[in-house]
Chain A
Amino acid sequence: MSTQTAAPVLEKSASVAGMTLELASYDVRDIVLGTETALRDGVLSIDAGVLRAHLLRDNEWIGDVSVALAHPGDSVRIIHIVDAVEPRTRISEPGTDFPGMLGVPRTVGSGRTNRLNGVAVVEVAEPVPGEPTYWREAIADMSGEGARYTPFSQLHNVVLTFTPKADRFSKGEEMQNIMTGTTEAEEYGKAVRIAGLRAAIYLAEATRNLEPDRLEVLSLDDERAQGLPAVAYAYQIQSPFIYGEVAPAGGAIHGPGHLPTIIHPNEILDGALVNSFTVIACMREVTYAIQNHAIVKELYANHGKTLDFRGVVLYTNGDSVTTKERISAFASNLVVLLGADGAILNYLGGGHPIVDVMMTCEKLEKRGVKTTLMLMEMAVNPEDSGHVHYVRQADAIVSTGNYEQLVQLAPVKTVLGGTNILESGEDASGSFSIALRNVLASTSQFGGGRLRGRGF
C-alpha cells in the first residue's frame, strides 16, 4: 500500500484568477469642517451639512445624526462607540462598496479601491430600549493615559452621534438574551452601521480623480513564494456581516449546522466583512480592524520574503462537544487543504471560543501543522492564568493583552457620545479607573493593538 505523501491540493502554481487588489492610499494629515467635501494637500475638508443630509435620507431608524471631529492629542473622550470604519471607495468594476450591506453582494477583493489613510468614521449611539448593554461600552481617549491603549487615538476621527426615531421604540422592551437584543434594537444597530459605511464612502469619494500617495498590490500569486514555509491563517470570526448576512456562528449565537469555509484575504481587506456585534470593546471585531486586518497585512508583508501565505480559513465556535469537534475538525481539514506547514490562529474572546481554538490547534499539530496562537488574557489577579482552557500542543502563544487590567483615565474637556459610562454610571468626563475591556481595540485579537510585551 502506498504511503507516499500526496502533493498539496492548492499547488503553488494555482492561479487565483482575478484576485489582485490595488489598494490606493491617500494620506490625510488633518480633517476640518468646511463648506465642501474635498481632499487638498492632505487636508480633508468635510461639508457636515451635506454629510448629515446624506445619512438621514431614506432611512427608517435614525432620527438625527451630528458630526464632530476628534484629533490625536485632543482632550476628548469618545464613548458608546458602536463601530469604526475606514473611508473607502471601490474605483474599478464591479465597483461594489461593502457588498451585501449596500447593494448586491458581489465578490470584492480585485480591482482598485481607494482609502483615506489616517481617518476613521466612528459611530456612537446611546443604547436603545431592548439593546443589551453588558458588553456594549467602548471608549476611545484621544489624549492622556487612555490614548496609549486605543489605536484610534492615532487617527483623525469623524464622530457620528446617532439618535433613533423615538416612535420606533417603546420603553422597557424585553431582550431575548445578552447576545441578541430585540428585533428593533438589532435593526437600529444595523442602520447605524450602514450609515457609518455610507459616510465612509462619501468621504473617500473625495479621492476619486486624485493620484494616490501609495499603491499596494495584494495578490497571493507570487513566484517568489515558492519553496518558502507555507502559512495559513485560521480566522475565528465573532459573527460579522459577511456579504451582508451574519455568518451562522457557533450554537451560542446561531445554529451549529454551519461549517467553516475559505475566503480570499483580499475579500476581508476589501469590505466583504462588516462588524455586526457590539461585543467587548477591547477585542471588538470593528470594521476598521477588519479592513486593516493586522494578521492578514503582516502575512502579506512577508509573502514571498519569509513565507508563502496560503490563504484564510473562516470559522467560529460550537456550543457542544459534538459541534466543537465537527467545526474544529473541518477547520483543520481546510488548513491542510491549503497545503500549510504552519497556521496562525486568533481568538475571538470568551469561554466557548477558546475551546474551539485549542481543539483546532491540537488537531493541526497532530496532523503535522505547526501553530501559533494569538490570545487575549482574562486575568483578574496575578494568580489567575487568564486562560480558561489549553491543550499541550499550544506551545507558541502571543498575548494580545489582559482585558481585566485596570487603567486610570484622566478627566477630559469634551465627551462625545453620551454623559455617563454604561453599567458603572460614572460621569464620563471625570477621572476613573476602568478595566481595559472597555477601551476600544486595546487588546485587538488581530494584533493591531498598542500594547507590547517587555522582557524582565
Chain B
Amino acid sequence: MAKQPELHLGSFQVRDVVTGSHTGLQAGVLSVNIAELKERLLEDSWFSDVDVEIVRPGSSVRIVHVVDVVEPRIRVSDPGTDFPGMLSLPRTVGMGRTHRLAGVAVTEVAEPVPGEPTYWREAIIDMSGVGARFSPFAALINLVLSFKPNPKRFITDQYVNVFEGSPEAVEYGKAVRVAGLKAAVYLAEVTRSLEPDAVETYALGGSGLEALPRVAYAYQAAMPYVYGEIAPGGGGVGGAGALPTLIHPNEILDGALVNAFAWAGSARESTYMLQNHALLQELYRNHGKSLDFRGVVFYTFGDNLKTKERITSHAATLVQLLGAQGAILNYLGGGHPIVDVMMTCEKLEKRGVKTTLLLMEMAQNPEDSGHVHYVREAGAIISTGNYEQVINLPPVERVIGGSQILVSEEAAEGALALSLRHVLAATDQFGSMSLRGRGY
C-alpha cells in the first residue's frame, strides 16, 4: 500500500530579527542582509522598488494596506517544492520535512494600483495599543515588504467587478504574493542544516482510534491559489462547474495553498493563517486523544440555488465518504457563502452527521443578528467575532505602507474609529483570532 503522507515540521524559535551583512540564524536571532533580499525581489519587472523594514511587537507602528502575510518556510527533504505551483512545478507537498521560523512573518504591503478594487482591500496591523489586541500579527516580528509598482507595466485601469480587478492589477497582486513567498523561502533557507528546537509530526490514521468519535473538517475556501491555480469557486468568482474535493490537511499546512484574494482584512485567508490553520492544528492536537481526525473536504459556494444544491450535496457526500460522525464547518464571510455553509450543515445533520459551525458575525447594531441566513439544524455555532464592531485606535508614531486609510481617506497615523473588518485576522475564520467569548 502507498505510504500515507507524514509531515515533520521543524520549528526554529526566533526571538529577534536584525539587519546584518549576511543572512543567518544564531542563538534565536535572525540576521537579514536586506540588500541581498531586495536584489532577489527586484528581479521581477512588476516592481520599481521595495522597502524592507523590521517591525517588532510593542512598537508604535501601524502597518496599512497589507496584501498578505507568510511564515518563512523551506521544504528540506524535497528541494524545489516550496509553495508548489507558485514558485515551482505543482508537486505534492505535505510529506517529508519542512522548516519554519516561528515568531516571524513576512508582511507584504502595497498601495492599490490602477484598476484594483479597493472596497475590501484595507487591512491594518497595529503593533501596540488597543489595535494590537485584535490582530494576532501584532505578536509577531514582521519583516515588512513595501512594494512600489513599475508604472510601465500598467496600461488599463478598468476592473471587471469588485472581485476582479484589471488584468494588470491581478498580475501585480500575484507578483506581490510571489515576492513574499520568495522572501519567506530566502529567510528560512538559513535553517537548512540546523537542528530545529522542536519537530512536530502530522499524520492521519494510526492505532487506537476505533473508539474515538470521527470528525471531518468541511473547509470553505475563500479562493486561494491551490498548487498555483485559483480554485474555481462559486459562480460569483470562479465558475459553477467546480465540485468539492478532498485535500490532505498536511498539504494545507505545507504551502499548497496561498492567498489570492485581498478580501476584508478581518476575515482574510492569509497565507500565514493557512500555514498555521488553527482548526487543523486543533484537530491534529486532539487526534488520537479525544477524536479521530478523518480529513478535510474542500469546497466553496455556488451562485444560484441549483449550483448551491450541487456543491453542498457533493461536500456532504465527501464528509460521509470520510466516515465522519461529526464535522466542523468554517465560513469564508459574505452573503452567498453563508447559504452554502447552512445548506451543507442541513444536509449533514439530516444524514446523521453532527455539525459545529465557526461563523463571523456582521451585526451593525444590537438588533441585527449578524447572520444573513440560518437553518434549524445549525444548533452549535461558535462566533469568531463581529466584523462590524467599531473600535478606537490611538495615534501612532509611524505608519508603514501608505499615508491614508483606503475608502475613508483618513490620515493613517491619527486616531481612528473603524470597524473591525479592517483589522487583519481580527475575526479569523479558522478561529485563531484574539477575541474570546465571555459569560455574563
Chains A and B bind each other: yes
Kindly provide the distance from the CB of B310 to the nearest chain A CB, expressed in whole angstroms. 4
CA distance A256 to B298 in the complex (A): 17
Separation of A365 and B424 alpha carbons in the complex (Å): 44
CB–CB A368/B2 < 8 A: yes
B251 at the interface (CB under 8 A from A): yes
Q: Which of A5, A246, A256, A341 contacts B241 (CB 8 A)?
A: A246
Q: Say whether, besides A107-B317, A259-B226, A333-B92, A2 and B201 are in contact (CB < 8 Å).
A: yes
Residues of chain A with a CB closer than 8 A to B322's CB: 9-10, 14
**Is B307 an interface position by the 8 A CB rule?**
yes
Q: Which residues of A contact B203 (CB under 8 A)?
A: 6
A340 and B2 alpha carbons, distance in the complex (Å): 7
Interface string of A271-311 (1 = CB under 8 A from B): 00000000000000000000000000000000000000001
Minimum CB–CB distance from A179 to chain B (whole Å) comes to 15
CA distance A448 to B205 in the complex (A): 37
Q: Kindly list chain B residues whose C-beta atoms are within 8 Å of the C-beta of A339.
A: 1-2, 4
Instruction: For the complex formed, measure the closest distance between the CB of A94 and the CB atoms of chain B, giving whole angstroms.
Output: 10
Which residue of A is nearest B227, CB measured?
A326
Residue of B nearest to A336 (CB): B2
A385-406 with Cβ < 8 A to chain B: none
Instruction: Kindly state whether residue B58 has any CB partner on chain A within 8 Å.
Output: no
| Given known A259-B231, A323-B229, contact A254–B314 (CB-CB < 8 A) | no
| Contact assessment for B1 and A340 in the assembled complex, using a CB-CB cutoff below 8 Å | yes
Taking the nearest CB of chain A, how far is it from the CB of B382, in angstroms? 25
Cβ of A17 and Cβ of B352 under 8 Å apart? yes
Interface set, chain A 245-272, CB cutoff 8 A to B: 245-248, 254-264, 267
The binding surface of chain A is classed by DSSP as loop
Q: Mark A1-38, 1 if CB is under 8 A from B, else 0.
A: 11001111111011111110000000000000000000
Total count of chain A residues near the partner, CB < 8 A: 63
B231 neighbours in A (Cβ, 8 Å): 257, 259
Contact of B309 among A17, A104, A332 (CB under 8 A): A104
The 0/1 profile, CB within 8 Å of A marked 1, for residues 232-267 of chain B is: 100000111111111110010000000000000000
Within 8 A of A (CB), among B259-296: 294-295
Please tell me if A242 contacts chain B, counting CB pairs below 8 Å: yes
> Counting CB contacts under 8 A, is A334 at the interface?
yes
A257→B207 contact, CB < 8 A: no
In the complex the two chains form, what is the Cα distance from A19 to B232 in whole Å?
27
Q: How far is the CA of A368 from the CA of B5 in the complex (A)?
A: 12
B interface majority secondary structure: loop
CB distance from B301 to the nearest CB of A (A): 14
Would you call A225 an interface residue if the criterion is a C-beta within 8 Å of the partner chain's C-beta atoms?
no
A325: Cβ under 8 A from any B Cβ = yes
Q: Compute how far the CA of A261 lies from the CA of B203 in the bound complex, rounded to whole angstroms.
A: 21
Asked whether B323 lies within 8 Å of A11 as measured between CB atoms, the reply is yes
Interface size of B by Cβ–Cβ distance < 8 Å? 62
* Contact assessment for B204 and A369 in the assembled complex, using a CB-CB cutoff below 8 Å: no
A66 to B8, CA, bound (A): 66
Judge whether A16 and B314 touch: CB under 8 Å: no
Residue in B4, B232, B306, B351 whose CB lies within 8 Å of A18 = B351
Distance A264 CA – B316 CA, assembled complex (angstroms): 12
Residues of B within 8 A of A14 (CB): 214, 294, 321-323
Given contacts A2-B201, A7-B4, A257-B230, contact A333 B306 (CB under 8 A): no
B204: chain A residues within 8 A (beta carbon): 6-7, 9
A311 to B199 Cα, complex, angstroms: 34
- Interface pair B316/A107, CB less than 8 Å apart: yes
Give chain B interface residues in 189-235, CB to chain A under 8 Å.
Answer: 199, 201, 203-207, 209-210, 214, 226-232
Contact B309 A106 (CB under 8 A): yes
| A348 to B309 CA separation, bound complex (whole angstroms) | 28
**Inter-subunit contact B92/A11 (CB<8 Å):** no
Bound together, the chains give a CA A263 to CA B315 distance in angstroms of 10
27 contacts between A and B (CB under 8 A): A5-B3, A6-B204, A7-B209, A9-B248, A9-B295, A11-B205, A11-B323, A14-B294, A14-B323, A15-B323, A17-B352, A100-B310, A104-B306, A104-B309, A105-B309, A105-B313, A245-B310, A247-B241, A258-B241, A261-B318, A325-B89, A326-B228, A329-B227, A337-B246, A339-B4, A340-B1, A368-B1
User: Given A2-B201, A336-B2, A368-B3, list of 17 further CB < 8 A pairs?
Assistant: A7-B204, A8-B205, A9-B322, A10-B323, A13-B210, A16-B323, A19-B317, A242-B243, A248-B239, A259-B242, A261-B245, A262-B321, A321-B89, A322-B85, A326-B227, A333-B247, A337-B295
Interface residues of B (CB under 8 A from A): 1-6, 8, 85, 89-92, 97, 199, 201, 203-207, 209-210, 214, 226-232, 238-248, 251, 294-295, 298, 305-307, 309-310, 313-314, 316-318, 320-323, 351-353
